[in-house]
Amino acid sequence: MQKKRVSIGIAPDDLNVGDFVAVIEPKQPRKPKIIMGRDHDGDPIVMMNPNSNQGRSAGVPHKVLGLSWPWVVFGVLVPGGEVDGPVIHDLRKVKCMRLDDSYVEAIKSFVKPEPVLEEPEMPF
């Protein structure tokens, strides 16, 4: 099986409206933790950095919706094929990685279960 080469960092001129890419953001420098006081033993109470990078998801397909250098408007592909957004990035601060069509189709093919509505019981 022949593997395809992975290219990270698509030139902004090569991005087209309708393309699906993964957005790779640079690692954020560690920021000092905030000490909120001391507990009853005298140990510091440390608050986690609210700007940490923990909530980001690698490999999530982003659809290019609009371009105006240096900004790009993305929509995030959600299972089932809908696009949510907008998400705006500065192309000077992120890199984009082109995604294979099979990757995007695999995520589109998931069908969200429809909520089951229970009928209220009738008192007799």
pLDDT (tens digit, 9 = 90+) per residue, 30-84?
A: 566 666 667 777 777 766 655 544 445 678 899 999 999 889 999 999 888 888 8
Task: Round to whole Å and give the CA distance between 91 and 95.
Answer: 7
For 26, 29, 62, the CA distances from 91, given in Å and listed in that order, are 12, 19, 14
Question: pLDDT tens-digit profile of 12-27?
Answer: 788 899 999 998 876 6
**What is the DSSP code string of the chain?**
-PPPPP-B---GGG--TT-EEEEEPPPPPP-PPEEEEE-TTS-EEEEPPTT-STT--TT-EEEEEEEETTEEEEEEE-TTS-EEEEEEEETTT-EEEE--HHHHHHHHT--PPPPPPPPPPPP-
pTM of the model: 0.62
Q: Where are the domains of the chain?
A: 12-108
